[in-house]
């Protein structure tokens, strides 16, 4: 039996050919869209308040204080401060500023206190997170200073202070460079609000590490004159910080031709 061609055959073949051409043109567009999604990296940022302890090397200083009849200082010094960070590729760059105060200790009419602070420029690797927890390494460099105040109490009137004006002195160990190496653990609470994971929330963290202070101590008394033969006094030792702050992240498109981040919305 002969097969008869209907009058709809040629238009149908034309429609099928047009559909195939459309799919062929649409495929590169779809692939480019997927590539854009794959090339998006998170734009992260956070700021946090930190408080903790730092264990300073005070053995040499305490030996000299005890020999002169002054009370000894506690090596565990409370520190507090804060910092902020922003993303750059696979890293977070930022800074920290902390202050420390060793409460004054007294023995009879003699009192000793230790104060100081430091600032650090830091970098940390953006490690993968699991169930809101992130374990990360960090390193930094900066500078710090410690000041030792010694005083003899006793004068109860103005003339008595004038008669013995040298009863109190502030000794500075000088500004010294710092290197910092640490490991931290963060837990982020919050929510995501965008199709690419944009969001923000509260940050809780703990960080431990060691701070190194290369170089020697350069003592000065009351900021006026140099002092020779002084013990070492630097911001050096192990530290433990606890953090409370906030975080947020959005997305940025990485241009294949330049490798630079084009900021998106947060």
Q: What's the pLDDT score for residue 251?
A: 63
The domain made up of 43-263 is a member of CATH 2.40.160.20: yes
- The mean pLDDT values, 10 residues at a time, for the chain of 266 residues are 44 45 41 43 79 94 89 92 88 92 79 92 87 90 92 65 66 91 90 66 93 88 80 93 86 48 37
Which residues, at least 6 apart from 253, have a Cβ–Cβ distance to it below 8 Å?
Answer: 36, 39, 40, 261, 262, 264
**Are the C-beta atoms of 140 and 122 separated by less than 8 Å?**
yes
Tokens representing 68 are 């002169």
| E strand or H helix at 67 | helix 59-67
Residue 53: closest CA among 186, 242, 240: 240
Residue 55: closest CA among 231, 209, 216: 209
**Number of helices (H), then strands (E), in the chain:** 3, 13
Q: How far apart are CA 142 and CA 129, in angstroms?
A: 28
How many degrees, rounded to 5, is the angle at CA 166 between CA 231 and CA 99?
50
Q: Where are the domains of the chain?
A: 9-38, 43-263
Kindly report the pTM of this predicted structure. Answer: 0.71
Q: What's the pLDDT score for residue 123?
A: 95
Token match 């903790």: residue?
Answer: 52
């Amino acid at each position: 039996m002969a097969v008869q061609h209907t009058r709809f055959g040629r238009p149908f073949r034309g429609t099928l050919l047009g559909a195939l051409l459309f799919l062929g043109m649409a495929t590169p567009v779809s692939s480019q869209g997927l590539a854009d999604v794959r090339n998006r990296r998170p734009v992260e940022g956070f700021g946090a308040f930190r408080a903790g302890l730092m264990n300073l090397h005070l053995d040499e200083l305490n030996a000299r204080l005890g020999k002169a009849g002054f009370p000894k200082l506690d090596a565990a010094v409370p520190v507090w401060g804060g910092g902020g960070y922003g993303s750059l590729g696979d890293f977070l760059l930022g800074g920290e500023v902390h202050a420390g105060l060793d409460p004054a200790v007294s023995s009879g009419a003699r009192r000793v206190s230790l104060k100081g602070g430091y600032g650090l420029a830091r970098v940390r690797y953006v490690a993968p997170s699991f169930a809101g927890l992130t374990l990360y390494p960090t390193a930094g460099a900066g500078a710090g200073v410690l000041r030792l105040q010694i005083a003899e109490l006793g004068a109860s009137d103005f003339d008595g202070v004038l008669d013995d004006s040298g009863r109190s002195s502030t000794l500075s160990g000088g500004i010294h460079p710092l290197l910092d190496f640490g490991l931290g653990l963060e837990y982020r609470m919050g929510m995501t609000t965008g199709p690419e994971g944009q969001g923000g929330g509260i940050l809780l963290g703990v960080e431990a590490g060691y701070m190194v202070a290369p170089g020697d101590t350069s003592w000065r008394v009351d900021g006026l004159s140099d002092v020779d033969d002084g013990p070492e006094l630097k911001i050096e030792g192990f530290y433990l910080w606890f953090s409370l702050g906030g975080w947020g992240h959005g997305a940025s498109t990485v241009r294949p031709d330049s490798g630079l981040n084009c900021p998106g919305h947060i």
